[in-house]
Amino acid sequence: MSGFRAPVGDILYTLDACGADTLPDWDAELVAQIAESFAAFAEAEIAPINASGDTQGARLENGRVRMPDGFRAVFDRYRADGWTGLTAPETHGGQGLGAVALAVTSEIFSGANHSLQMVTGLVPGAIRVLMEFGTEAQCAALIPPLAEGRWISTMCLTEPGAGSDLARIRCRAERDGDGWRISGEKIFISGGDQDLSEGIFHLVLARTGDADSGVKGLSLFACLSDRADGTRNSVTVTRIEEKMGLHAAPTCQMVFDGAEAQLIGAEGQGLRAMFTMMNHARIDVALQGVAHAARAHAIAASYCAERVQGRGADGAPVTLDQHSDVRHMLDGMQARALLGRAIAHTAIITLERGDDPDLVEFLTPIAKHFGSEIGTEAADLGIQCLGGYGYLSEYGIEQIWRDARICRIYEGANGIHALTLAGRLMRGPAVDRFAAFLDRNLTCSGTRAAWDAACAVLRNTADPAPLARDFMELSTLALCRSLASRFEGHEGQAAIASYLEDRAGMAGLIAARMARRGQ
């Protein structure tokens, strides 16, 4: 298997092409230095333990989670180099950089070792929640350990009876003097326990209202793994899930048995606070998918450039990448990675600029949906390019497929994001802001006419659910065509053109199908 090489050039190119220079205080040279420095660390330290971590996996021993060999040593170096505090406020021990710098390192991290990124990657979101909803005292006490890497954060939402439907959460929080105690069960908690950091900072969504209060009865709590006196809090991991992929990332079933906690924000505002973390996390998931697509393409392109199979039209032996079918698959992989990154970067740059929140709201579900889909699509194509070798563990693409598959499920299943786009976002200003974006960037009149027709169908239907998948596909296609011109002169320009040519006429077909279904 070819060694991991971070796609630093493509990342920096796309940031520039998507308008990073419109951000206040944008420093392209600094971001390039950060990308190159983290890429060197990821290539030398993080990536080499990816395959071994997948083979060994995390394990539960005597009620505590043990990470695979080498993970603690790599995290110690990650922490010592200051990467844990990259975006934390300087006033609380961090470096104060923005979300764009984090997007750069997060993609590289995910491509090198998704499991380790998964366990460590929620810290910036937790800090963001504290900064927006915590008190000054909470920020002063809780952010520095996170920024320093002494604590790693989790996000505890899901329960056995409450997956995407958070109104069904039953985990309860009760007042206990000046504090609170949490009791209940949570499942599918990434990094619910680990032996990398000194402590764990659990953000827990729990019910403070009555059983029938729905999401309005949910509040957000900080629940530390250890009490102030150094003893373990009443938080127990009862099992680690056996998963298809991400074997080195412990996915935990947890029990809170009167665990000490403190309220973050106001009672009944837990979902609002948690979504501060989740909206950024969804763009992060998009970049996880992009990272997998880029890595799958790199492996397949390297293999196919060296593997001699068959003959060309002149009868001479040729490498696999000279065969049209294989070239088409390689181009499709490259185009997916480039366009997925462009969508995610457009979303995160617009979010950081802060001048068009409604556009961000429309871009985010598209970024998450497309980014997570292309991860497995590219891996699947890569397996096909390598033939029988792609099906083996030796080249690593089968692990990419397994690791990437969860991206279409967590941080909101993709069908839910499609329904959000066709439902709630069609009834507010977000769709108008996306239309304005298309006005500025989409030159394909046929795609624009089809998208406008689809919007008209949705506005006149009582139930958008049967049309949601089609509208997501059409909106994504319109966005991809809008961004394609940004790659003029890039080595992937022809691959993108081929990818979009395969979809010529598709916009009209989708709009026509929506019109029939919407009658």
Report the largest interatomic distance among the alpha carbons of the chain, rounded to a whole angstrom: 84
d(CA 337, CA 288): 11
Residue type, 458: L
End-to-end CA distance of the chain: 52
DSSP 68: P
Q: Are 455 and 426 in contact (CB under 8 A)?
A: yes
Backbone φ, ψ for residue 218 (5° rounding): -100, 140
CA 413 to the chain's CA centroid: 12
Active site residue 377: no
Residue type, 384: Q
Q: Is 321 helix (H, G, I), strand (E, B) or coil?
A: helix
Q: What's the number of CA atoms in the CB half-sphere (13 Å) around residue 227? A: 12
C-alpha pair distances (Å), 261 with each of 204, 234, 257: 9, 10, 11
List, in order, residues 6 or more apart from 11 with CB less than 8 Å away: 35, 104, 107, 108, 341
Q: At what angle do helices 99-120 and 28-41 cross, to 10 degrees?
A: 20
Q: Which two tokens stand for residue 356?
A: 């068009």
Q: Are 339 and 486 in contact (CB under 8 A)?
A: no
Considering the candidates 352, 398, 411, 473, report the single residue annotated as catalytic. Answer: 411
CA dihedral (230, 236, 237, 239) positive or negative = positive
Nearest to 203 by CA among 125, 113, 94: 125
d(CA 129, CA 125): 6
Q: What's the number of CA atoms in the CB half-sphere (13 Å) around residue 59? A: 8
d(CA 57, CA 139): 34
Strand intervals (E) in 129-178: 151-156, 172-176
Sequence-ordered alpha helix ranges (H) in 225-323: 270-306
Q: Which residues are catalytic?
A: 411
